[in-house]
Chains A and B, each alone.
Chain A
Amino acid sequence: MSLKATRDAYGEWLKDAGKINKDLVVIDADLSESTKTNVFAKEFPERFFDVGSAEQNLINLSSGLALGGKKVFASSFAIFETGRAWDQIRNIVAHDELNVILVATHAGLSCAADGASHQALEDIALMRVIPNMRVIVPCDAEETKNALDALLSLKGPAYMRLRREKEPIIDKKYKFQIGNAEILSDGSDIALIATGMMVSYSLLAADILKKKGVDASVINVHTIKPLDSQMLCRVAKNTGMLVTVEEHSIYGGLGSAVSEALSECYPVPIHKIGLKDTYGQSARSFEPLLKEYGLTPNQIAESSEKYIKKMKR
């Protein structure tokens, strides 16, 4: 599997999309080297605007530009963009259904060394609760570009959650469509429902489980809102038990979204793997931090196996 960071894909995509779409403008809040909007800035300086370290201004300026007819991509780190500017996103961008695409990087634990202040573990929850807001979490760099293509042709706002680190590119057979969950591997004992980087880890976890005689499906939920409830219901009927896997708080994120949906159509036991009501912390690199919070493929497999045993007892 080749490796690439979703944020690098974003920078490349912006540069390409900017050539075709002259109304595309990009705004950043003093993090353009990290979010990779600097790639666009170099190519189209007249359509790139930096507001400095002022996230509320980032969103307000973006709103004004959208009202003025521009297709706006606004970027910062996930924690600052969704947390600090939640009022502006809720009351203006989403309320007035403006053409502002919020593309935030360094989500989850991927901002490892910087510690808790920089690690967004609540951003999916914060965005998911806002009416009119779409929430997209691509599973890899390739899907990031496909999702951006889809968002470019849509009207209205969206939140896209990207990460800092290089991640594996997954072999996919489906055509990306906003709102679809995708089956990557089919098994009948349990389904691992994953989002973002945890999709590739769940595929690895499924391989581990297979060796132990457990046949697991792996589902990529790249769109957390609107959620593909029908598909998830079908999966639940097939396996009778689910595990959700996310690099986010289990409160308000993928696990919550899936639970909400299934409680309406086909309630089954759901084991939620993610951050358990806690802040992150500093680590020299990303992998040990994932291990600290139980998010490696081995740990996902182990935890899933334990849950199956517990529920079948």
Chain B
Amino acid sequence: MIKNLSSNDLNELSKKIRCDILRMICEAGSGHPGGSLSAIDILLVLYFNVMNHDPKNPEWVDRDRFILSKGHAAPALYTVLAECGYFSKNHLLTLRKIGTILQGHPDKRVTPGIEVSSGSLGNGLSISAGLALAAKIDKKKHHIFCLLGDGECDEGTVWEGAMLAPHYKLNNLTAIIDRNGLQIDGRTETVMRLEPLADKWKAFNWNVIKVDGHNYDALYNAFEESRNEKDKPSVIIASTIKGRGVSFMEGVKEFHGKPPNKLELEQALKELEA
């Protein structure tokens, strides 16, 4: 399904979805609001305007694939999958409860629409490369999208994948880095310096695209450019704001893995619904 939503429609939808994300994390009493809010606009553009997929047939072989390597942003992915119709929205408030289909981190076994389980960081990129390689072997035309966190790029396995994908000329693979600048222990540049990040990927022979990760048109254009790339994999470094959309969460590292309390939730909903 490609809905071709306008920027305005996406903007309205994003407010509603941000509210859902915060409600479910608050209800769960734990979870990762910061990175879910920084990534959500990327997911909306992918699932509504870029990817060929069919919520009624999640196993459709020719679908484009999305891999959430930064598994802790699961609430963002769950809300989008529910919005697309992979499962009922009634499940959203069961996040992290015993027996739920919405585990704390993505679990392929129980959630329709999840391509592979994640949560242990750093693995999604080379798994995505495997999916891209399988598509190449079978001469299939679908595309693989993989979202990584910037803090996640501390993991050595990310760079193993970064070396592998250009080696096998996987132009059917697009990595997106949610560059929100914060990780659990602080600013990415203080904890473990990533810059010059774009140069690193260029040196690994990727097609590098820098984009505002909250600008729907810019994101769409970046995805289309990456899909049309002829011989390299692409990486979209998306500048984002952790906690985007809620004044007291934006750029606050404590909200990486802390749920809003009831009062904070009310205030956040008020801001988003204004």
Residues in A lying within 8 Å of B, measured CB to CB: 25, 46-47, 49, 51-52, 54, 56-57, 60-70, 87-88, 91-92, 95-97
Given contacts A57-B157, A61-B130, contact A70 B137 (CB under 8 A): yes
Given contacts A68-B135, A70-B137, A96-B108, contact A91 B119 (CB under 8 A): yes
Residue of B nearest to A90 (CB): B120
A140 to B84, CA, bound (A): 53
Please name 6 further chain A to chain B contacts, defined as beta carbons within 8 Å, in addition to the given A47-B137, A60-B127, A69-B61, sorted by A numbering.
Answer: A56-B126, A60-B125, A62-B130, A64-B132, A65-B133, A67-B116
B234 CB within 8 Å of chain A: no
List chain B residues, Cβ under 8 A from A62: 130
List chain A residues, Cβ under 8 A from B213: none
Interface pair A67/B130, CB less than 8 Å apart: yes
List chain A residues, Cβ under 8 A from B164: 51, 54, 57, 61
Interface pair A57/B119, CB less than 8 Å apart: no
Given contacts A69-B138, A88-B123, A96-B108, contact A60 B117 (CB under 8 A): no
A60 to B120, CA, bound (A): 12
A56 to B127, CA, bound (A): 10
In the complex, how many residue pairs between chain A and chain B have their CB atoms under 8 Å apart? 97
Q: Closest CB-CB distance, B55 to chain A, in whole Å?
A: 19
List chain B residues, Cβ under 8 A from A65: 130-131, 133-134
Residue with the highest number of chain A CB atoms closer than 10 Å, among B116, B119, B128: B116
Task: Give the secondary structure class of A's interface.
Answer: helix
B161 CB within 8 Å of chain A: yes
B160 CB within 8 Å of chain A: yes
Interface pair B134/A60, CB less than 8 Å apart: no
B129 CB within 8 Å of chain A: yes
Q: Closest CB-CB distance, A156 to chain B, in whole Å?
A: 12
Given contacts A57-B157, A96-B109, contact A64 B137 (CB under 8 A): no
A157 to B25, CA, bound (A): 34
B168 CB within 8 Å of chain A: yes
List chain B residues, Cβ under 8 A from A91: 117, 119-120, 123
A281 to B161, CA, bound (A): 34
A95 to B71, CA, bound (A): 15
A155 to B128, CA, bound (A): 21
Q: Closest CB-CB distance, B110 to chain A, in whole Å?
A: 11
A172 to B117, CA, bound (A): 42
List chain B residues, Cβ under 8 A from A60: 123, 125-127, 129-130, 157, 160-161
- Identify 20 residue pairs between A and B in the complex whose beta-carbon atoms are under 8 Å apart, listed by A's number: A49-B133, A51-B160, A57-B126, A60-B123, A60-B129, A64-B116, A64-B128, A64-B130, A65-B133, A65-B134, A67-B127, A67-B134, A68-B133, A68-B135, A69-B138, A87-B120, A91-B120, A95-B107, A95-B117, A96-B117
B115 CB within 8 Å of chain A: yes
Residue of B nearest to A68 (CB): B134
Q: Which of B39-65 contact A (CB under 8 A)?
A: 61
With beta carbons under 8 angstroms apart, the residue of A51, A54, A96 that contacts B116 is: A96
A63 to B168, CA, bound (A): 16
A196 to B108, CA, bound (A): 35
Residue of A nearest to B119 (CB): A91
Q: Closest CB-CB distance, B204 to chain A, in whole Å?
A: 13
Residue of A nearest to B126 (CB): A60
Residue with the highest number of chain B CB atoms closer than 10 Å, among A57, A63, A64, A87: A64
Interface pair B116/A69, CB less than 8 Å apart: no
A88 to B127, CA, bound (A): 10
List chain A residues, Cβ under 8 A from B61: 69
By Cβ-Cβ distance, the 4 closest A-B pairs, closest first, are: A64-B130, A68-B134, A60-B126, A57-B160
Residue with the highest number of chain A CB atoms closer than 10 Å, among B120, B130, B156: B130
Residue of A nearest to B65 (CB): A67
